[in-house]
Chain A
Amino acid sequence: MNARLTRTSWIARITFLEAIRQRFFAFLLVLSAVMVVSSVSLRFMDFGHSELKFVADFAFGGMFLFGSVLALVMTAQLFFAEIENRTALTLLAKPLSRTEFLLGKFLGTWAVLGVFVFSLAFLQGVILWSRTQELIVLAAETGRVAPDFSVSGLASFAVLQWLRLGVVAAMVLMVSAVARTFLFTVIVGAMAIVAGQLQWLAQEALLKPSDASVVTKSLLWISSRVIPQPPAV
């Protein structure tokens, strides 16, 4: 058992190192960071709660979008790079089971997604916090209600986001394990993400207290508090 753990963690470690050095990762991270930062400049004229909410919605939306793209493309890319470059051939000749290999790949990818989500969430936190301070001063001047900013709300949102991207990565990895090509995996994975996203929205919209299990209900309750609703169109 211990040996299994060692092997899995080494696969994860190398996967993490490989992914973190990819240009694709840096590119999406920078792109998302730009989006988070620029969300401040897109605020409404109307000051107050809606501004912060809009800023948060915009940034979180971008984070999930780019995070999903990252989870999808990076996971598939890391997997097929091992196959195509034949590094997998060296690895699978080691006393390493395919499960350990896949699990290690997953954990490594998930760790990278963690870096992505939490560094963006941190940036987001800094921006929201500093904007909140400004708004509190403004509110005091104009006599409006001061907005508040919850660190724990942001943190739990980030954790939830990370879990969701983990689900995406796990799914892509499962598709990769049976699919033959990178392109096929990415297409199937993208369809699955879109389908999952639609279902998620549908569940939120149609949620009735009676027909959901306690776990689903509480999850959905949390998500409906933490995850910003898409702006009504």
Chain B
Amino acid sequence: MSTSSAISVQGLTKDFRVGLRGIKLRAVDNLSLEIPRGQVFGLLGPNGCGKSTTLKIVLGLIPATSGSISILGSPSATSEARQRTGFLPEAPYFHKFLTGRELVQYCARLSGVPAEKVGEAVEGSLELAAMTEAANRPIGTYSKGMLQRIGLAQAIVHDPELVILDEPTAGVDPVGSAAIGRMINAMRAKGKTIVLCSHLLGQVEQVCDRVAIMDRGRLVLEGRVDEVLAQRDRHVITVADLTPQARQAAEAALAAHGATVTSITHPRRSLEDLFRELVTGSRDA
């Protein structure tokens, strides 16, 4: 268990008992994971593979069946460790009758922000989450994406060094999720550790330094994003004004050196890029 890890998980297993007969359901299966400090770590996997369960165990919200964890150097999520951690649960739900600002204030006070600094901290995090405008409305009137963003604001209001985000972009439009991506980058620039679960692989690829992929409670892959994704034996050359003659000449020249052209296609923009180009911003933002 190295002290440089923000989170370390060793041989973690979690069984849920479901139904009246108490049939065991293994949600996490002998999972070991090291999440280094100061990086953005993506936890991926299909629905029900145990991502949220793992995060909840790390935060001490549910007990593990076996295995051990360490968070920010302490062997369990102590009050002190939680004070340095921010958490956005998946599909967050907050007290509907509070306004966004009241909720963030409430969370700031619970997380140990001193009274004289609350105002500043609250405004700062509302602004980061692009929720200043809607901050005086009751949470019951928020759209799904706004709920997600106010959840983000409450998670970071006490300026934690570790931020755990369970599907921060679920239900958020591409512009909003690009904003969340920028927020994550800004936090990394300040030296924070960010752990996030997401199904938006495109975004994970852009924003994460490392990823782990889980399947049926087991870890199937872990590593640096660029290392995991690079196909080291393939190369891409982008060419403008490629005439058939030029193409033949190029292929011949490459063949002379023993290289084969396996495919020639047009580069495509991602739908996400196109969308972001055409749409200026969400109405809520």
Contact = CB atoms under 8 A, between A and B. Distances in A.
A complexed with B: yes
Given A21-B97, A92-B61, A7 B89 contact: no
Contacts of B95: 14, 18, 87
B79 A93 contact: no
Interface centre among A7, A86, A89, A96 (most CB of B within 10 A): A89
Given A86-B89, A89-B61, A89-B89, A94 B97 contact: no
Interface in A80-124: 85-87, 89-97
A96 B87 CA distance: 13
Contacts, number: 57
Given A7-B109, A7-B110, A96-B79, A14 B89 contact: no
Contacts of A21: 97
A24 to B, nearest CB: 14
Contacts of A97: 79
Contact of B92 (A7, A14, A90): A90
Contact of A90 (B80, B85, B97, B107): B107
A17 interface: yes
Interface string B249-270: 0000000000000000000000
Interface in B57-80: 59, 61, 79-80
Interface residues of A, number: 21
Interface centre among B56, B91, B112 (most CB of A within 10 A): B112
Given A85-B93, A86-B93, A87-B94, 16 more contacts: A7-B110, A10-B109, A10-B110, A14-B95, A17-B97, A17-B98, A86-B89, A86-B91, A86-B92, A90-B94, A92-B61, A93-B61, A93-B89, A94-B111, A95-B110, A96-B82
Interface of A: 3, 6-7, 10-11, 14, 17-18, 21, 85-87, 89-97
8 contacts: A10-B110, A86-B91, A87-B93, A89-B89, A90-B94, A93-B61, A94-B110, A95-B111
